[in-house]
């Protein structure tokens, strides 16, 4: 069973916010920053952190919306929560928020349990922010799941110099296939970036806590690709022992 705790992260403007941590059984390893969906650090995101810990990584999931509503977390299985969660996300300041994510990544790197390189994974809203971190700080690797804002960021796709994996579905109501084609064209000449478009994949297909999103077969396929990618760029369990 994973060891879990809460870390306190200091920001560039000398404030503090919390992050959920899941540790692997070895107690140490490479690090992965986990960036939430619009629903906050809920049971699904904590489960992602546990899955990563099961792969041997130290997972840190920061409370991204702490400036708007500290501790924000809603049940993604209830479709009535989508609209209020999106409303909170829409009040998030992308400039200050990116600085907070960079602070969270630096905190992860400095944790004594992190004995190897550190990467980033993000889902939905977090998938967009993971892509931004690939452009701003170049982690050891980045995995972005169905980031609906990625198409608006590809003008700077040439800034990505770290291994980056993008997952999309071709049946995503929040991310038109035209946007996916725009992304694919923009990164086609960047050998650091690989794009997977999953046939029949809808939005948030990895979220098995939400029946209206979950697509287990596609999620398993994407997670297998993700795990192999992380092992390739972060190493296996207990790295740095």
Residues β-bridged to residue 196? 167
CB half-sphere exposure, 158, CA atoms < 13 A = 2
Of 172, 179, 198, 233, catalytic: 172
Q: Is residue 172 annotated as a catalytic residue, yes or no? A: yes
Asked if residues 144 and 183 have their Cβ atoms less than 8 Å apart, the reply is no
Of 198, 203, 206, 233, catalytic: 203
What phi, psi does 39 have (nearest 5°)? Answer: -85, 0
What per-residue string of b and e applies to 186-201 under the rule 16 or more CB within 10 Å gives b? bbeeeebbebbbbeeb
Rounded to an integer, what distance in angstroms lies between the CA atom of residue 228 and that of residue 223? 8
Rounded to an integer, what distance in angstroms lies between the CA atom of residue 30 and that of residue 241? 10
Q: Is residue 28 annotated as a catalytic residue, yes or no? A: no
For residue 81, CA distances in Å to 124, 203, 218 come to 15, 15, 24
Place of tokens 């050891």: 140
Rounded to an integer, what distance in angstroms lies between the CA atom of residue 44 and that of residue 137? 26
Which runs of consecutive H residues, i.e. helices, occur in the chain?
Answer: 43-54, 82-89, 94-110, 125-136, 177-187, 216-234
Q: Which residues are catalytic?
A: 172, 203
């Amino acid at each position: 069973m994973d060891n879990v705790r809460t870390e306190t992260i200091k920001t560039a403007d000398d404030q503090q916010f919390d992050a959920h941590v899941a540790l692997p059984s070895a107690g140490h390893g490479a690090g992965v920053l986990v960036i939430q969906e619009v629903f906050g650090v809920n049971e699904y995101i904590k489960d992602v952190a546990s899955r990563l810990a099961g792969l041997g990584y130290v997972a840190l999931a920061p409370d991204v919306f702490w400036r708007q509503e500290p501790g924000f977390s809603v049940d993604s299985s209830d479709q009535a929560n989508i609209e209020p969660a999106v409303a909170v996300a829409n009040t998030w300041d992308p400039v200050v928020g990116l600085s907070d994510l960079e602070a969270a990544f630096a905190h992860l790197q400095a944790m004594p349990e992190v004995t190897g390189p550190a990467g980033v994974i993000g889902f939905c809203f977090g998938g967009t922010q993971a892509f931004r971190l690939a452009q701003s700080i170049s982690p050891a690797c980045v995995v972005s799941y169905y980031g609906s804002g990625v198409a608006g960021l590809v003008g700077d796709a040439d800034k990505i110099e770290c291994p980056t994996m993008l997952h999309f579905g071709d049946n995503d109501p929040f991310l038109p296939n035209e946007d996916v084609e725009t992304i694919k064209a923009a990164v086609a000449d960047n050998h650091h970036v690989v794009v997977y478009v999953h046939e029949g994949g809808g939005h948030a297909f990895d979220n098995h806590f939400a029946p209206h999103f979950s697509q287990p077969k596609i999620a398993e396929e994407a997670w297998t690709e993700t795990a192999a990618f992380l092992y390739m760029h972060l190493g296996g369990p207990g790295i740095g022992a």
